[in-house]
Amino acid sequence: MKRDLYEKLLEWKSDSARKPLIIKGARQVGKTYLITEFGKNEFENTVILNCDKDPRIARLFENGFRTDRILSGLEMLSNEKIVPGKTLLFFDEVGEAPAVLSALKYFCEDAPQYHVIVAGSLLGLAIHRGFSFPVGKVNELTLYPLSFAEFARERLGEQAYSWLKNKELSDLNTFGQLYQETLREYYFIGGMPEVVHAALVENKDYRELRNIQKQILSDYTLDISKHADTQILGRIHQVWASIPQQLSKSNKKFIYGDVQKGARAKDFELAIQWLIDAGIVYKVPRVRKAGIPLKYYEDFSAFKLFMVDHGLMGAMTDVPVQEILLKQNVFEEYKGTFTEQYVYEQLVCSTDTGIFYFDSDSTKLELDFLIQIQNRIAPIEVKAEENLRSKSLKQFKTDYPDSFPVRISMSDYREQDNLVNVPLYAAIRVCTLKTNG
């Protein structure tokens, strides 16, 4: 299964200023598979050290960070020779041995000739356990579930992927119906690699796919129970269970009172942060005034929460498969539950400048997302139907003349009325639009 992040791994390998690499991502998004394939294809050998299965790894690092001693010990543990430039050193499930994270500083300073990658399902939590994080001494990448473009490559082939990622958006109109039908499947299947793989085998059984999704959700629940502080355990479960309902509202702002009557921020902020650190929930902050950089205008009092994968959200809410695969108006009917979640997933894996939403009390103007494209602010309105009226975008353009309004809808690509309409299936292309600004 090909992943876009592979190209970034190749860039890292050949970079003379390379540092040890941390790959983040939720459980079961495919980190171990991707790194193992990368090692097999690009190095003479890969030394895989699973910190969860072998407690000796943690003890080796807890006894000091002298790199020559550690490398010799790792050769003993793996019974393999570790050769600079020829061996990929891969520490998996490093959250079970946080001292390995601290040691990356010394690999960077004292042994930069080695290729070192670490990964773990709960890496964000491990960073907060009192161990020193090697700030400035590591490179970082995040692996997400398969984007729709990656899914289309698996489902339709390399050419369909290449068109979706590289062709002029106007050219995609020719194959819009094909991409829409594939998007319908993606709405149900989602982007978790195990589910996608199962979906592509012959005689796929959608009940079996739903069972796999539910097993992943069960694994997430077990992680929460195993790793969370008992004082906030119940609240983590409450927040996690509330997200689909929060996203089904017309105003998707997270409301504490919807989780528990009378609740306030102080009651649930630690629980929310735990889910974010675990990589299974994403937070989209509000801005009330737009400017570059958007981070300067973040309003900490309001936000939206999205799940790691819309397919898992469908499994959590038990949406029947026929509702998604057979209903002609599925994109309209499930806008509240799936479409904005889906668009967020496409944006988060294609931008590194932050994703926000806009909500102004003074003008009563609301927009689903706000991002930076090159040096311009791009307000984004998500429409699950072909209704092309965009009063909010037009008003935003009036208030912020230098902005670059984008509408994502079921309609074909077009430029009109000072805004760009991007087809829903091409949402991943929004971050690479040419703004001419």
Q: What is the pLDDT of residues 209-222, one digit of tens each?
A: 999 999 999 999 99
Using the structure block, give the residue that is written with the tokens 């491990």: 126
The answer for residues whose C-beta is within 8 angstroms of residue 167's C-beta and 6 or more apart is none
Examine the pLDDT at 130 and tell me if it is beyond 60: no
Q: What is the pTM of this model?
A: 0.93
Three-state SS at 260: coil
Among 192-196, 311-315, 317-321, 365-369, the range scoring the smallest mean pLDDT is 317-321
Q: Calculate mean pLDDT across residues 44-56.
A: 94
**What is the pLDDT, as a whole number, of residue 129?**
59
Q: Are strands 298-307 and 281-287 parallel, antiparallel or unpaired?
A: antiparallel
Dihedral of CA 2/125/271/212: which sign?
positive
Q: What is the distance of C-alpha 151 from the center of its chain?
A: 14
Distance (Å, whole) CA 331 – CA 329: 6
Segment (H or E) for 321? helix 321-325
Segment (H or E) for 68? helix 67-78
**What is the pLDDT, as a whole number, of residue 418?**
85
Tell me where in the chain the CATH 3.40.50.300 domain(s) lie. 5-142
Among 129-143, 189-203, 286-300, 410-424, the range scoring the smallest mean pLDDT is 129-143
CATH code, 5-142: 3.40.50.300
